[in-house]
């Protein structure tokens, strides 16, 4: 393969820039021409394509966001839109496409592969960690670290005032950001979409911790359950504790990527180009048991994300 394309799609995630750099540099290593497509599938359909060189990706490894920008593109869901996307690829002689994004973006890549025979490689770029085939997605680690930084600060003030803080984190329908940031921050309670919550049990847990000498409580609520505001209202109906809701919000999506995310970006980007260089497409790359893996894209998008109940129990056992 001599010409490849690259786009970022869906929600942005810290580490996307580092992955762009890895793809471009690996492509150049294999004597390929690499084309960057701006604003995801929208740019592919609208022909916003630019050649990428060694220096196009200088000094971006440390930044959040995506240099190629990203978009959600409804046209890509239609046959017409997909045909237009393929026409752009043909215009530039692009033989293979690297798509950095979440499961929606992978469905777009799958459509190009299945319907039009375009070899595609998906790199999991989403803070949500909602893809079953890979242990971690790009951006998740940084997003959780951002949550930890904020929860640490909240704990300071909640303890001074003996309050309960309800902290809303992102993750869409997946509770992983809540689970990991809850465990790593020492939150007493997490509320995730995968497990039905019982408010009486939550109150009993707070009461127990106070009886054991605790002066504050952190409840991490995943956005897929409800907002911090809504949860606080429900909790306040059954307790007299002083409660403060905080929504961490979009700050989770930005910031300099962590070491873990930069390492994933380097390896995912490099693996994607190695596959295309061998003429292999229709795959996604990921990490499982600390090894970089690749897998059939159709199989990967059909896998249902499983929740880690053992980690949830760990939190129950150690945070009290
Ligand atoms: P995140 O998990 O961060 O939200 P994502 O990649 O899942 O990222 P989506 O908005 O679901 O984000 O998808 C991104 C884009 O992928 C869509 O705007 C659309 O252009 C394309 N896409 C999604 N689903 C399909 C599909 N079934 N067929 C073709 N294209 C799709």
- Cβ of 12 closer than 6 Å to ligand 1, yes or no, is no
What pLDDT digit, counting tens, does each position of 186-213 carry? Answer: 999 999 999 999 999 999 999 999 999 9
- Cβ of 76 closer than 6 Å to ligand 1, yes or no, is yes
104 CA from centroid of ligand 1 (Å): 3
List the residue whose alpha carbon is closest to atom 13 of ligand 1.
104
DSSP-assigned beta bridge partners for residue 263:
none
- Spans of the chain, pLDDT less than 50: none
DSSP code of residue 110: H
121 CA from centroid of ligand 1 (Å): 15
- Cβ of 170 closer than 6 Å to ligand 1, yes or no, is no
196 CA from centroid of ligand 1 (Å): 28
List the residue whose alpha carbon is closest to atom 11 of ligand 1.
104
Residues with Cβ within 8 Å of 254's Cβ and at least 6 positions away in sequence, in order, are 12, 14, 64, 65
Place of tokens 């690829």: 89
> β-pairing, 217-222 with 164-169?
parallel
The whole-angstrom separation of Cα 60 and Cα 82 is 30
Q: Determine whether 55 is exposed, middle or buried from the number of CB atoms within 10 Å of its CB (0-12, 13-18, 19+).
A: exposed
Q: Are 85 and 47 in contact (CB under 8 A)?
A: no
- Cβ of 77 closer than 6 Å to ligand 1, yes or no, is yes
Place of tokens 């050649």: 51
Question: What DSSP element (H or E) covers 121?
Answer: strand 120-124
- Report the catalytic residues: 128
Angle (nearest 5°) at CA 284 between 222 and 23: 100
What pLDDT digit, counting tens, does each position of 250-282 carry? Answer: 999 999 999 999 999 999 999 999 999 999 999
At 82 the pLDDT is 98
Task: Say whether pTM exceeds 0.85.
Answer: yes
The whole-angstrom separation of Cα 98 and Cα 28 is 14
- Cβ of 101 closer than 6 Å to ligand 1, yes or no, is yes
At 320 the pLDDT is 80
Q: Which of 8, 41, 70, 104 to mutate to test the pocket of ligand 1 (most atoms within 8 A of CB)?
A: 104
Domains defined along the chain, listed by start? 3-139+257-302 (3.40.50.450), 142-253 (3.40.50.460)
Q: How many helices (H) and strands (E) does the chain have?
A: 11, 11
Structure tokens at 259: 């070491």
For residue 72, give the ligand 1 atom closest to its CA: 18
Structure tokens at 212: 């054991």
DSSP code of residue 304: P
- Cβ of 41 closer than 6 Å to ligand 1, yes or no, is yes
Question: What DSSP element (H or E) covers 201?
Answer: helix 199-211
The whole-angstrom separation of Cα 11 and Cα 233 is 29
């Amino acid at each position: 393969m001599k010409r490849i394309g690259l786009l970022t799609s869906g929600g942005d995630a810290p580490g996307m820039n580092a992955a762009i750099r890895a793809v471009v540099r690996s492509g150049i290593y294999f004597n390929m021409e690499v084309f960057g497509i701006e604003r995801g599938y929208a740019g592919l359909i609208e022909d916003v394509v630019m050649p990428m060189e060694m220096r196009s990706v200088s000094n971006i490894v440390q930044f959040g966001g995506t240099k190629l920008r990203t978009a959600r593109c409804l046209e890509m869901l239609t046959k017409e839109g997909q045909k237009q996307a393929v026409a752009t690829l043909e215009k530039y002689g692009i033989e293979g496409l690297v798509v950095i994004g979440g499961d929606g973006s992978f469905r777009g890549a799958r459509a190009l592969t299945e319907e039009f025979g375009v070899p595609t490689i998906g790199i999991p770029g989403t803070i949500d960690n909602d893809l079953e085939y890979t242990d971690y997605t790009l951006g998740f680690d940084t997003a959780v670290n951002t949550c930890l930084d904020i929860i640490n600060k909240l704990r300071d003030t909640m303890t001074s005032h003996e309050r309960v803080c309800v902290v809303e984190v992102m993750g869409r329908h997946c509770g992983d950001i809540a689970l990991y940031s809850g465990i790593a921050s020492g939150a007493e309670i997490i509320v995730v979409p995968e497990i039905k919550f019982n408010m009486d049990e939550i109150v009993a847990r707070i009461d127990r911790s106070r009886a054991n000498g605790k002066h504050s409580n952190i409840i991490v609520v995943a956005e897929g359950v409800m907002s911090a505001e809504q949860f606080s209202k429900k909790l306040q109906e059954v307790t007299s504790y002083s409660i403060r809701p905080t929504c961490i919000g979009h700050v989770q999506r930005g910031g300099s990527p962590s070491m873990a995310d930069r390492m994933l970006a380097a390896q995912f980007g490099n693996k994607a180009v190695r596959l295309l260089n061998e003429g292999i497409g229709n795959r996604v790359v990921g990490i499982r048991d600390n090894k970089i893996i690749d897998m059939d894209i159709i199989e990967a998008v059909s896998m249902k994300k499983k929740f880690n109940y053992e980690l949830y129990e760990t939190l129950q056992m150690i945070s009290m």
